[in-house]
Amino acid sequence: MAFIDWYNALRKPSWTPAPATIGLIWQILYPILFASIAVVVVQAFRRRIPWRTTLPFAVNLAANLVFTPIQFGLRNLPLASIDILIVWGSILWMAYSVRKSLPWVAVAQIPYFIWVSIATVLQLSITWMNR
pLDDT tens digit sequence for 102-124: 999 999 999 999 999 999 999 99
Whether 2 has a pLDDT exceeding 90, the answer reads: no
Cβ 129 vs Cβ 9: under 8 Å: no
Cβ 31 vs Cβ 114: under 8 Å: no
Tell me what pLDDT residue 74 has.
97
* Angle, alpha carbons 85-129-80 (nearest 5°): 30
Tell me what pLDDT residue 3 has.
81
pTM of the model: 0.94
Whether 1 has a pLDDT exceeding 80, the answer reads: no
* Angle, alpha carbons 28-106-113 (nearest 5°): 50
**Tens of pLDDT, residues 51-71:** 999 999 999 999 999 999 999
Cβ 79 vs Cβ 70: under 8 Å: yes
Report DSSP letters for 9-77, one per residue.
HS---TTPPPHHHHHHHHHHHHHHHHHHHHHHHHHHHTTSS-GGGGHHHHHHHHHHHHHHIIIIII--H
**Tens of pLDDT, residues 7-17:** 999 999 999 99
